[in-house]
Amino acid sequence: MRSMVKSILGMSKRVKLSLVVVAILAATILLGGCNFGQSTVGVLDVNKVMSDSPRIKQFQDQLNTKGKELSDQLEKDKPNISAEEYQKRQETAYGEFLKTKQELETQIDDSIKQAIEQVGKEKKMGVVLYKTSVAHGGTDVTDDVLKKMQ
């Protein structure tokens, strides 16, 4: 370490200046990004995707159907079981509903991510951000993602 410091101190001003310029240039390239050719930023309105996508409506319908089935079964069994047993079945049904909900949410997330990746590649985008995080700029890819999800 000391020998390195001594060698740096012993360098001429011209060599030191050259090293500083090279270091600044390297930092600029690294901080500026290395995605040459893919500098376009896409923006996705997730709320619009959630409200307009037929595929997501299908997932929501599946969840509503599951909830109705569980609720109807509980109401059908209610007169024939104790209040304690009803409470247990209600908790079990709720757990089953939450599990189904999580599975469908995972499918929705995967579907959106897959569509974003496809659109990003097709449009040669370096990054796609959610619209809620972007104050200004970017290319809106929401309609393209919706088309991919059909």
- Residue 38: strand, helix, or coil: coil
| Residue 80 DSSP class | G
- Using a cut of 0.75, tell me whether the model's pTM lies above it: no
Long-range contacts of 72-75 (CB under 8 A, 24+ apart): none
- Starting from the edge strand earliest in sequence, which strands make up the sheet with 139-140, in order? 125-130, 40-44, 139-140
pLDDT tens for 90-109 read: 999 999 999 999 999 999 99
State both tokens at 7. Answer: 């060698």
For the segment 57-81, the average pLDDT, to the nearest whole number, is: 94
The yes/no answer on whether domain 35-148 falls in CATH 3.40.109.10 is no
> Domain-by-domain residue ranges, the chain?
1-34, 35-148
For the segment 69-95, the average pLDDT, to the nearest whole number, is: 94
Q: Quick one: pLDDT band at residue 134, thresholds 50, 70, 90? A: confident
